[in-house]
Amino acid sequence: MEKYDGGGGAVRPDDPWYDVSASGWGAPAGTEARPEPAELPPQAVAPGGEDERASAAEIYREVRAGAAFQEVRGRYRRFVVPACALFLTWYLAYVVAATTAPALMARPVFGPVNVAMLAGLGQFASTFVLTWAYARHARLRRDRLALDLRWETQQLTRGARG
Condensed to tens digits (0 to 9), the pLDDT of residues 106-127 reads 999 998 999 999 999 999 999 9
Low-confidence ranges of the chain (pLDDT < 70): 1-54, 161-162
In this prediction, residue 50 carries a pLDDT of 52
Helices (H), 3-112: 52-65, 67-100, 102-106
In this prediction, residue 59 carries a pLDDT of 86
**C-alpha span between 146 and 153 (Å, rounded):** 10
**DSSP-assigned letters across all residues of 56-86:** HHHHHHHHHHSHHHHHHHHHHHHHHHHHHHH
Q: Which amino acid is at 101?
A: A
In this prediction, residue 107 carries a pLDDT of 93
For the whole model, what pTM was predicted? Answer: 0.60
CB neighbours of 80 closer than 8 A, spacing ≥ 6?
134
In this prediction, residue 21 carries a pLDDT of 47
